[in-house]
Amino acid sequence: MDSDHDPLKTPSLRHKCSACYKQYKKKDHLIEHMRVSYHSVHQPRCGVCLKHFKSFESLREHLKGPLPKSNCSKIFSERGCGLCLRVLDGPGSLSEHQNICCLTAPVHQGNSLLPTDLSDCYGEDRSDRGHGAIAMDCVMAGGGSDGALDICVWICLVDEDEKLIFSTFVQPQIPITNYRHEVTGLKEEHMRHAIPLKNVQEKVLKILLNGESIERLRFNGGKARLLVGHDLEHDLDCLRMNYPDHMLRDTARYHPLMKTNLVSHSLKYLTRAYLGYDIRQGGHNPYENCVSVMRLYKRMRSLDHRGQVPSIAPHIQYVAPSLDSVSTKDLEKMTPHELYEMSRSNFKCWCLDSRRVMLT
């Protein structure tokens, strides 16, 4: 038999994903991969080979892990930022960038254990504050017979300028059995300054709603403010409050900041890995936590994902055809790049919030 016609030596056609570069023997396998991978311009991407990753952690492994991609690792070691994982034009640009990218731990002037209420500066008459996000952090003491039940005893709110606007102790609705002093720094005497939970709820909602009605908030938010935090669901649960999911920006639940298996990182890890400093050197500092989550949010919001489809108008969001809206027969006729162009992420990228800010 002529070896030129030997089917065992004939190279098979491979269908390569334009985003993660995985290859498939059959086109329908590639199509199925595109359906479940949710590739998009919003995924973290290697600045050298342009490969997409599910999270920044995966990208970090690709560049700096035990078994990095050799060519990418070499270039990244010469002109890559270890915090935001960008690849700069050269050593000079890298040095200038790192001076901005690497931050120092926030320090609040004054006694952080004294109640602070500057929220009147954020009332309905402050329309110039626009849609600025608000960061929240809660300190928990222990309740129940074994002190294992989390009770919110201290709440802190910070604006986008890292200004403390509200900080107060919260009257517990059940007895505190463990102040967790080593972490919280709180003692029984601090609760003398505490205010009722209902008053705290009203104050927080007044700041967040910014004069908007609850009804309008359920639809598009209006002038209400985004709420930023780490594990916000837990904090809101302990405060016995609700806030619409589409208005929450949670650093513990944001896909690019999570582990590849969608398990959350601690705020301490995220701050060190993406901002360049350590927190909680002397226990739980809610102001420091608020500033850190706000910095993480603003860093993610400022990412420039070229290729995203712009809104036709501020109140109209253009929705392009998705893979699920096209027949399999038509999908099979498309190139891998065309399939990628139709793929959509399964999370709302925070860079889209930058449009919200620009419209204010």
Q: 117-143: per-residue pLDDT in tens?
A: 665 554 443 434 456 899 999 999 999
Compute the distance between CA of residue 163 and CA of residue 171 in angstroms, rounded to an integer.
24
Contact 303, 234 (CB under 8 A): no
Does residue 321 or residue 132 have the better pLDDT?
Answer: 132
Does residue 102 or residue 318 have the better pLDDT?
Answer: 102
Mean pLDDT in residue range 42-65: 96
Compute the distance between CA of residue 170 and CA of residue 34 in angstroms, rounded to an integer.
49
Which domains does the chain carry?
Answer: 116-301 (3.30.420.10)
Sign of CA dihedral 143, 147, 150, 155: positive
Phi, psi (rounded to 5 degrees) for 332: -65, -20
Instruction: For 191-201, write each residue's pLDDT tens digit.
Output: 888 999 999 99
3-state secondary structure 49-75: CCCECCCHHHHHHHHHCCCCCHHHHHH
Compute the distance between CA of residue 103 and CA of residue 279 in angstroms, rounded to an integer.
12
Q: What is the pTM of this model?
A: 0.88
Indicate the DSSP class of residue 341: H
Lowest mean pLDDT among 5-19, 74-88, 92-106, 346-360: 5-19
Q: What per-residue confidence (pLDDT) applies to 320?
A: 58
Band (pLDDT 50/70/90 cuts) for residue 12 is low
Compute the distance between CA of residue 327 and CA of residue 319 in angstroms, rounded to an integer.
18
Mean pLDDT in residue range 297-326: 68
Kindly tell me if the per-residue pLDDT of 247 is higher than 70.
yes
Kindly tell me if the per-residue pLDDT of 18 is higher than 80.
yes
